[in-house]
Amino acid sequence: MVRDAVTVSAPGKVLLAGGYLVLDREYTGLVFGLDARIHVTVQELETSKGVTLNEVVVHSPQFEDAVWEYGYRLTERDGGMKVTALRVDADLKLNRNIFVETTVSYALSYIASRTNPMISPTSITILADNDYYSTPADLANGSGAAPRFHNFGVPITKAHKTGLGSSAALVTALTGALLSYYLPKETYDITTDLGKRQLHNLAQAAHCAAQGKVGSGFDVASAIYGSCVYRRFSPSILSNHGEPGKSNFGRQLRDIVDGTGQTGAWDHEIAKQGVKVPKGLRLVMCDVSCGSQTPGMVQQVLAWRKDNPDEANEIWRQLHENNTALADDMKKAAEDEQNQTTDRYAKVKARFHSIRALIRTMSEKSGVPIEPPEQTKLLDTCESVPGVIGGVVPGAGGYDAVSLLIQDDAEVVAKLQSLLMGWKFSSSESGQESGGRVSMLGVREEMEGVRLEKTNQYQEWLS
C-alpha cells in the first residue's frame, strides 16, 4: 500500500512567566508559541523491487552526519514496537539521537495498538527554521539572502541552540506526522480537539521518556496548542509505565494516551482565551550565545525551596500573583484599543518590573543565576529604548536568552538591533568578556500550535 506523504509542523515556545513555578500544579505558566517551527515529513521509503525492509530512515539535511536508521519489530506479550538504532555504515560509530529514537518507538507502538496496521518502511525528513540555532556569521552579517533552511555545516551536537524548545517541537511534529501517515483519518485526525489531545498525551510520554524524567510539559503543550496559560499534569500519570519491548507496554501506552486504565484521565489545563498580545505590540527573542545548564539550575532552586519552604513559598506566591496579573493586564490592554495614550501599557510595564524584582530575590536567596547581573544590565538597557514595554529572562533563566515585549514598529526594532550589535556581554564574575554575542532572532509570538503542512513546499529538501 502506497501512502501519500505527510508533513506536520510544530512551533517553538517561550515561557514568559512561570519559570520554576510551572513545575508545581498549584501554579500556572504563561507560555507563548513562537513562529519558528520544526517541520517533519514522513513518506514511503523506496526499496528495490521484491525487497521488504522493516526500516525507518530519518534525515536532518541541515547538519553533518544527521542520518539515523532504525529497525523495528512488534514484540511479544504486547510489548509494543521495539526500535533498534542501526549503523549507516559499518565503519562509522553508532550515531544515536535519543529524542528521535524514543519518539519513533512510542509512536509506532501506539499505532500498532490502535489498528494493527501494516507498518511499512518510511523515510523521514526533519527541517528546523533557522532561529532554533544561533545565527551563523554569514547570515548575521547579511551576506546574501538567507535560505529558508540554512545548512549549518556542523554535526547537530555542535550546533548552539537558542532555547526555543527544539526537542519538544521535534517530538510533537514527529509524533503527529507518524500518526497522520499511518492511521486512517477516521481513526486519527490531527485537526480535531480529540486528535490534539491524543497527540499531546503521546508526545508528553515520549518526550519525558527521552529526557529520562517527567517534566512540567509546558513546552510540548505549547507545541500542540500554541500560546496559552498552562497548568501541568500530575507526574504520576507518566511515572509508572514500562519500556518499549517490555510486557504490556503496548496496553499501558494506549491507556496513557486515551486517559484510561490505572493512569486515569489527564488533569493538565490549557487556557488559550487568557493569552493575548495587544495589537501594535510583539514579542521578540534575543539570543545570548553563552548558555546555561537548565537541569542543574532547576535542581538547585528546588533544593533551596525544600530547605526554606516558608521563604520560598512566599516568593512563589507573590510571583504567581504577578504572573497571573501580567496575563490579565496584557489581555485588558489588547481589549482597550480605543486607548492610544502612553498610559495604555503602564500596568504591563509595572508588572514586568515586579516579576523581575522577585526573580532577582529568588536568584539571591537560592544562589542560582536566574537573572544574573549581566542579564539585569542587558534588560535594563533594552527597556530604556523608547517603545520597549518590558522584558524578562524567560523559562529557567540564566544566560540563554532574553524576551522583550515591544511596539511592533520598524524603528523600535532597528534601535534594538543597533544596541545589541555593539553589546559587550560578560558572563563571568571577573567581568571579562566571554564571547557571548547577543542577537535578535527573527521570531515573534505564534497563537497557533501544531498543524498539517503542504508537502510540496519542502520538495527540494526531501531525500
Tens of pLDDT, residues 17-73? 999 999 999 999 999 999 999 999 999 987 644 445 689 999 999 999 899 999 999
Place of cell 523495528: 72
Residue 427: count of CB within 10 angstroms of its CB: 21
Q: Please give the grid coordinates belonging to residue 403.
A: 524576551
Find all residues with CB under 8 Å of 160, minimum gap 6, and list them.
133, 134, 289, 291
CA distances from 162 to 103, 236, 442 (A): 22, 31, 12
Tens of pLDDT, residues 321-341? 999 999 999 999 888 876 666
* DSSP secondary structure, 187-224, as one string: T--TTSHHHHHHHHHHHHHHHHHHHTS----HHHHHHH
Domain 6-272+448-461 class?
alpha beta
Residues 168, 205 contacting (CB under 8 angstroms): no
Phi/psi for 448 (5° steps) reads -85, 145
**In the prediction, which pLDDT does 59 show?**
95
**In the prediction, which pLDDT does 437 show?**
76
**In the prediction, which pLDDT does 292 show?**
57
Question: What are 282's strand-pairing partners?
Answer: 406
For 103, the enclosing helix (H) or strand (E) is helix 98-115
Question: What are 284's strand-pairing partners?
Answer: 404
Residues 114, 46 contacting (CB under 8 angstroms): no
Q: Please give the grid coordinates belonging to residue 105.
A: 518507538
Q: Average pLDDT for consecutive 10-residue bins of the chain (463 residues)?
A: 89 96 96 97 76 81 92 89 78 77 96 82 96 66 69 89 92 98 94 97 97 95 97 92 90 90 83 90 87 76 96 97 95 79 85 97 96 94 95 92 94 94 64 63 95 96 83
Residues 34, 166 contacting (CB under 8 angstroms): no
Three-state secondary-structure class, residue 4: coil
Question: What are 404's strand-pairing partners?
Answer: 284, 391
**In the prediction, which pLDDT does 410 show?**
95
Alpha helices in 218-368 (DSSP H): 218-225, 249-258, 294-307, 309-335, 346-366
Q: Please give the grid coordinates belonging to residue 97.
A: 539521537
Q: Which of 374, 422, 399 shows the shortest CA–CA distance to 161? A: 399
Q: Please give the grid coordinates belonging to residue 347.
A: 500596568
Q: Which of 101, 86, 3 shows the shortest CA–CA distance to 44? A: 3
Q: Which CATH number fits domain 281-445: 3.30.70.1380, 3.30.70.890, 3.40.50.2000, 3.40.50.300?
A: 3.30.70.890
Query: Could you give the dihedral angle defined by the CA atoms of residues 242, 191, 458 and 449, in that order, rounded to the nearest 10 degrees?
Result: -80
Residues 80, 109 contacting (CB under 8 angstroms): yes
Question: Cα 16 to chain center, whole Å?
Answer: 13
Tens of pLDDT, residues 168-178? 999 999 999 99
* DSSP secondary structure, 25-77, as one string: TTS-EEEEEEEEEEEEEEEEPP--TT----EEEEE-TTSBT-EEEEEEEEPST
**In the prediction, which pLDDT does 290 show?**
62
Residues 71, 86 contacting (CB under 8 angstroms): yes
**Alpha-carbon span 360 to 373, nearest angstrom:** 9
**Alpha-carbon span 153 to 142, nearest angstrom:** 18
Question: What's the number of CA atoms in the CB half-sphere (13 Å) around residue 201?
Answer: 22
Alpha helices in 125-264 (DSSP H): 137-140, 166-182, 193-211, 218-225, 249-258
**In the prediction, which pLDDT does 141 show?**
46
DSSP state of 134: P
Domain residues of the chain, as ranges?
6-272+448-461, 281-445
